[in-house]
Structure 1
Amino acid sequence: MAIDLFLGGLGGGLFLFYELWELPVSIGLLSLGLVVVGGVVLLMELGHPWRAWRAICRPFSSWISRGVIFVLLFVVSSSLYIAPALDLFSWLPWSPLSLGGKVLGVIAGASACLVALYPGFVLSASPSIPSWNSPLLPVLFFSQSLTGASGILLLLSPLGLLNQRLEGISSLAVLLIGANFVLIAFYLMVLKKSGLAAQESVRHLSEGALSLIFKAGVILVGTVVPLLVVVWIPSAVVLAGACVLLGGLLFRYCVLKSGVYVPFAIT
């Protein structure tokens, strides 16, 4: 499950940067591809992918249903928004600057935000796992998605796709990495002051089986190293991008694995 949450969030965050910085169409296609692949991985994990259509049938009571709708809305709107930039579809009667293109851009951008947010809402709607049942989790997942998207751009920087935008993207990456660290620290602090199950989740991350992955993977490799590289060795931003992506994936893994189930939501 960590992989589909990771890929979907990356795709949503990357599309926001694609729109914000008017990046090359290849970046838009990559964002779309990440969301689609994340959706496919999720379907495979459900065990019965051909029954997945049922997932859309409960949007008023299920965040998974809402998530499916968000993904479908993003795939359709972003495809239509990107299409005129491709030679094959250059005949389409709208462009990013036309009224129709602007409307599609707004819809695609909004749905990209929702795609990046909804995994956090899926987990936070689990009262029987107190460490997931937190309003901070959607914020954390959204922040992680944006940070991961900046990591992808840093990783792709040698391809020359970013032109003069690399400096701005690097600066934003520093801010996002720092913000993520603060959010993670605050999240853990809140859990430590919560019930026993939430405290046990923190123990798993700080002392238990997940401590090495969390401390070395999420904090050191995913936070400290890329921060130092971007600030002090800007010529090695590719390394920073790779570290950010690895840290983001491991963060989701740690959140999922550290959850302690409590029947009847007894905390």
Structure 2
Amino acid sequence: AVSSAALPDGSPAVIAIVCDGVSSATRPDEASAAASAAANEVLLAALPRGTHPQQAMHEAIVAAAEAVNVLADPPGQSGDQEPAHRAQNAPACTIVGAVVVSGLLVIGWVGDSRAYWVPDDRTGPPARLTEDDSWAAQMVAAGLMNEAEAYADERAHAITGWLGADSYELEPHTASFKPERPGVVVVCTDGLWNYAESPQEMARVLPPDAAGRPLRAAQVLVGHALDGGGHDNVTVALLPFAVPRHGAGSDRA
């Protein structure tokens, strides 16, 4: 989902939500569609009311999870049935979202879909703004493997967080940033970042005019993944980010 809204003061807010179905789950396409639609709807309602974008993002992910949970209910039954029954191969997906508003960039996610930051002038360092809910990330965080070893393992992409009735306790991640220069936010599935994993690789692949031509730049990124093998579905959204010249900072939750 890509959409726009206006804050109470009339300033614009731009939204991008990307979801990726869990291949081992039933109806993962429906899970992704339900999650992205629900998250987008919440953000479009909350931001014009004056809800802080980071809080709105948290609420959006919770709503997305509820929308996916409902898909586990057989027709004619409610979500009150036994959790074990509902959780059998339940529809599931990841989610990552970004909101650009008034010099503020807000990110939210569950799973291993990612958001990257690439400054327009390429003089500042690019950055990955999300931290995967995955086996590899857990191994690195625990100090049991370095990043190269973890991502070379066949278990690397096993996710430890997702939206779905069979998920563990939902823990939406959110972060807010105030970059000090204009740039582009890349919101994508692992079908793209498998072929441009590091922020530096993503910056190299992203066309220099991405801020002015985001749709074409998104097409270039998809083409890069397909040319590399395209072994997974590839979804990407780009949000240009123009900011006033004041200091940088971030808040995480």
Q: TM-score, normalised by structure 2?
A: 0.29
Give the helix-richer structure, 1 or 2: 1
Select the structure of larger CA radius of gyration.
1
Q: TM-score, normalised by structure 1?
A: 0.28
